[in-house]
Chain A
Amino acid sequence: SAVISQKPSRDICQRGTSLTIQCQVDSQVTMMFWYRQQPGQSLTLIATANQGSEATYESGFVIDKFPISRPNLTFSTLTVSNMSPEDSSIYLCSVGREPTYEQYFGPGTRLTVT
């Protein structure tokens, strides 16, 4: 497994502002992902964070709204831009290892938009 930390653990933000969430892993990993979990719902993949290139977004998620950076193999950021109350969710990063594709999750960032 891997030790994954996220900052901040929670935040309350005003509508129209942006928040950047950080994800740090204690070892180099090839695969990093960002998920959203809306209240009482399951997890939905936002994007795959690719080291050295643009992230790969899932249907329904766009780079302008959720820009992602991944400068190296241990760190990634997700920005939630121009927030609205509908963005209130838990945002989780995960790391995956080949060839088993097991994914381990960070503790999550609980975001509330007012």
Chain B
Amino acid sequence: AQKVTQAQTEISVVEKEDVTLDCVYETRDTTYYLFWYKQPPSGELVFLIRRNSFDEQNEISGRYSWNFQKSTSSFNFTITASQVVDSAVYFCASTGTASKLTFGTGTRLQVTL
């Protein structure tokens, strides 16, 4: 069974600040996948990134970057120079061999001017 913990319930930052969203996962599977999704106020769930368990290479996509560390079972997400449009709920999720997604409780990010 998978478990995903997002300890930060809500984060508020001022535009242009950097912000890191934490994600800690638990799994007994040797092969697993980790994901981040964004849910803006419109409610739609937007896929951001997938990482598999045998690829610890960090990834950068524009202002977004992800840090995957198996040693600490963490898959953290950083937004650089945040913008108001980044305001949303962000979910970390994982899946193992059963291919069923387990979601964390989400972190609500509020970016203000």
From residue B51, how far is it (CB to closest CB) to chain A in Å?
A: 10
A102 close to B50 (CB less than 8 A): yes
Are B47 and A1 in contact (CB-based, < 8 A)?
Answer: yes
Check B99–A43 contact: CB distance below 8 A.
no
- How far is A100 from B34 in the complex, measured between Cα atoms in Å? 10
A-B pairs with CB below 8 Å: how many? 51
Closest 4 CB pairs of A and B: A105-B45, A42-B103, A43-B103, A42-B105
**B-side interface residues, number (CB < 8 Å):** 19
Q: Which of B7-57 contact A (CB under 8 A)?
A: 33, 35, 37, 43-45, 47, 50, 52
Q: Do B101 and A45 have beta carbons less than 8 Å apart?
A: yes
Interface centre among A1, A92, A98, A102 (most CB of B within 10 A): A102
For B50, the closest partner residue in chain A by CB is A102
Tell me, yes or no, whether A81 is within 8 Å of chain B by CB.
no
Known A42-B106, A101-B99, A103-B101: A108·B44 in contact at CB below 8 Å? yes
